[in-house]
Amino acid sequence: MEEVRLQKFLALCGAASRRKAEELIKQGRVHINGITVTDMGIKVTEEDLVELDGKRLRKEPKKVYIMLHKPTGYVTTSKDQFSRKTVLDLVEGIEERLYPVGRLDYDTSGLLLLTNDGEFTFKLTHPKHEIEKVYIARIQGIPSEAEMGNFRQGLRIEDYTTSPAGFRVIGKSGRDTLAEIIIHEGKNRQVRKMCEAIGHPVIELKREAIGNLALGNLKEGHWRHLELSEIKGILTLLDG
Ligand code: URA
C-alpha cells in the first residue's frame, strides 16, 4: 500500500471521519509504531503499527463484487475434499479473499456472484428477500399443461412445498424441452428437484439472471466486476 496521510488512514480503517480523525490525533490518542503522534502531516503505510487508544487499526479491505459465468465441472466452494476444480480457480488477479454468494451445483453453469462483502452475501441469500432467479433448463420430454400448472402453483419436494415458480417453454430439442424457469427461493438443487417432481428431469441447467443482474454476453469461464449501478440496483431490490 502506498503512503497515505494519517487522518486518511484512520478514515480508511473506519475509525473516524477525516475531520474526527484530526481531533483524535490532536488529542494524542493515536500511536504509530508505539510513538504518540500529534503531527497532521505524517504519512503511514499498512506496514506501520497504527493504534487508536491502544487498539490496532487495519485498513478495511476494498469491497469487490464479481459476476462469474460458471462452467459445469466446478464446485462452488473454496476447497473441495475431492480436489475438484473450484470456482475460485477461475478468478485470477484479485487480491481480496472472495466467497461465492450462494451456490450452483457442480453440473450447473451460469451466473454466480463472488464477493468479500459478508453483509451483501447475507442479504442476497436471506430467504426473506425472495430475489428472482432465472434459469434455462433442458428437461426430458414434453411437460403437459397440468404439469406446468403444478410447477406454477408450488410443488412438494421432499419435506418442503415450493412457492409458485415461473415455467415457460422456450423451445424444443429433439424429445427434450427448453424451459425458462423462475424461482424466488434457493433450496438445495431446487430446480432439479422441481423438474423431477413433474416427471421431467433436468438434462442441462444454466442460471441466466439474479434480480437485475444478467449474464448478457459474458463468456463461459469468464468474469467481470459488477458496475456500481448494478450493485445499487440489486441492493434496492433487497431493501424494497
Ligand atoms: N437449482 C438447482 O437444481 N441447481 C442449481 O445449481 C441451482 C438451482
Q: What is the pLDDT of residue 38?
A: 93
Same-domain check for residues 42 and 83: no
Report the nearest atom of ligand 1 relative to the CA of 104: 6
Q: Is the CB of 195 under 6 A from ligand 1?
A: no
Instruction: Specify burial of residue 219 (Cβ count, 10 A radius: 0-12, 13-18, 19+).
Output: exposed
> Do 140 and 199 reside in the same domain of the chain?
yes
Measured CA to CA, the distance from residue 105 to residue 69 in angstroms comes to: 13
Residue 82: all three cell numbers together: 475431492
- Residue 93 sits in a domain of what CATH number? 3.30.70.580
Mean per-residue pLDDT for 69-74?
A: 98
pLDDT band at 240 (very low <50, low <70, confident <90, very high): low
Q: Do 161 and 45 share a structural domain?
A: no
**Average of per-residue pLDDT across 58-68:** 91
Number of structural domains, the chain? Answer: 3
* Mean pLDDT of all residues belonging to the chain: 93
Cα separation, 32 vs 44, whole angstroms? 8
Query: Residue 87 carries which DSSP code?
Result: G
**Does ligand 1 come within 6 angstroms of the Cβ of 70?**
no
Ligand 1 in reach of 115 Cβ (< 6 A): no
Q: Based on the domain organization, do 147 and 203 belong to the same domain?
A: yes
Q: Is the pLDDT of residue 46 over 70?
A: yes
> Among 71, 198, 181, 189, which residue's Cα sits nearest to residue 140?
198
Res 128: pLDDT? 84
d(CA 9, CA 183): 44
Q: Which atom of ligand 1 is nearest to the CA of 189?
A: 3
* Closest CA relative to residue 32, chosen from 45, 23, 19, 22: 45
Q: Which of 181, 207, 210 to mutate to test the pocket of ligand 1 (most atoms within 8 A of CB)?
A: 207
* CATH code for the domain of 190: 3.30.70.1560
Tell whether 173 and 159 lie within a shared domain.
yes
Q: Is 27 exposed, middle or buried (0-12, 13-18, 19+ CB in 10 A)?
A: exposed
Task: Work out the angle between the directed axes of helices 228-239 and 118-125 (0-180°, nearest 10).
Answer: 50
- Domain range for 146 is 132-210
Of 65, 73, 72, nearest to 91 (Cα)?
Answer: 65
- Tell me whether residue 105 is one of the annotated catalytic residues: yes
| 174 has pLDDT over 90 | no
Residues 194 and 232 in one domain: no
Q: Which of 39, 80, 105, 117 is catalytic?
A: 105
Q: Convert the pLDDT of each residue in 185-204 to its tens digit.
A: 989 999 999 999 999 999 99
Confidence (pLDDT) at 16? 85
